[in-house]
Amino acid sequence: MKQNPLNDIIARTCWDKSFREELLRDPANILRSAGIQVPEGMNIQVMENTDERIYVVLPASVDDQPTEWAYDDRPEPGQETKSGDLVMKWSAFALDLSGRIAGDSIQMLRRELDKVSGNLVVDFGEVTFMGSAGLGVFLAAQKRLAANGKQLCFCDVSPSIRNIFSLSGMDSFFKFVSGDLKNTWWMCFPVM
């Protein structure tokens, strides 16, 4: 089951008073620290229901959306996140990974992959290790993207890590290409 960082935040406010106060004071910072993208300049308010007042929030209609809002299917190039021994950096065409994909980095890797709604190339060129938990994260991302006609494509996967995909029988769910195709990402995916 895919974890929702907003659910985690709301649950934590029920038992952690100082966290709740921080969320009320600076909700954008709390959301960003949980891996949720918050557009710059966005005003976010968190309000507490009381016995005398209940807040109901309606979504904005499509007609009321600001004209300058653009749909992005991935984070901006140059954004970098580090978790444990894994560094995740967004380039124009890929999510470049370096280090170890292990238990201490799985949650953040999941959050980074959840930021993508379009086709994605994941560059394994600098990955030195991947545990079985990594398989689950990539499979969940592939299923989510495939439901919308998109997919993951892996490049420069070392033979030892490729063997993990093969032994588990999951290699057929993904497309693997060599690193020289990374910047010609369109070759990784079928034309729609």
Residue 192 lies in a domain: no
Residue 146 and residue 122 share a domain: yes
CA distances for 174 relative to 18, 143, 178, angstroms: 43, 10, 13
Distance CA 92, CA 77 (A): 5
Residue 51 and residue 135 share a domain: no
- The predicted model scores a pTM of 0.60
Distance CA 43, CA 27 (A): 9
Of 10, 70, 1, 69, whose CA–CA distance to 34 is shortest? 10
CA distances for 185 relative to 77, 88, 178, 179, angstroms: 15, 18, 11, 10
Of 50, 46, 8, whose CA–CA distance to 26 is shortest? 46
Residues 20, 21, 27, 32: is their CA dihedral positive or negative? negative
- pLDDT-above-70 percentage for the chain: 82
Least trusted range by pLDDT, from 42-56, 64-78, 128-142:
64-78
Distance CA 160, CA 171 (A): 13
pLDDT value of position 69: 44
27 confidence band (pLDDT: 50, 70, 90): confident
Question: 88 near 81, Cβ under 8 Å?
Answer: yes
Average the pLDDT over 130-158 and give the result.
88
Residue 96 and residue 53 share a domain: no
pLDDT value of position 38: 76
Residue 151 and residue 58 share a domain: no
The CATH number of whichever domain residue 100 belongs to comes to 3.30.750.24
Residue 172 and residue 93 share a domain: yes
Taking 80 as the threshold, does the pLDDT of residue 147 lie above it?
A: yes
Residue 100 and residue 183 share a domain: yes
Residue 84 and residue 59 share a domain: no
How many structural domains is the chain composed of? 2
Question: 154 near 145, Cβ under 8 Å?
Answer: no
Residue 153 lies in a domain: yes
Residue 60 and residue 84 share a domain: no
Residue 39 and residue 90 share a domain: no
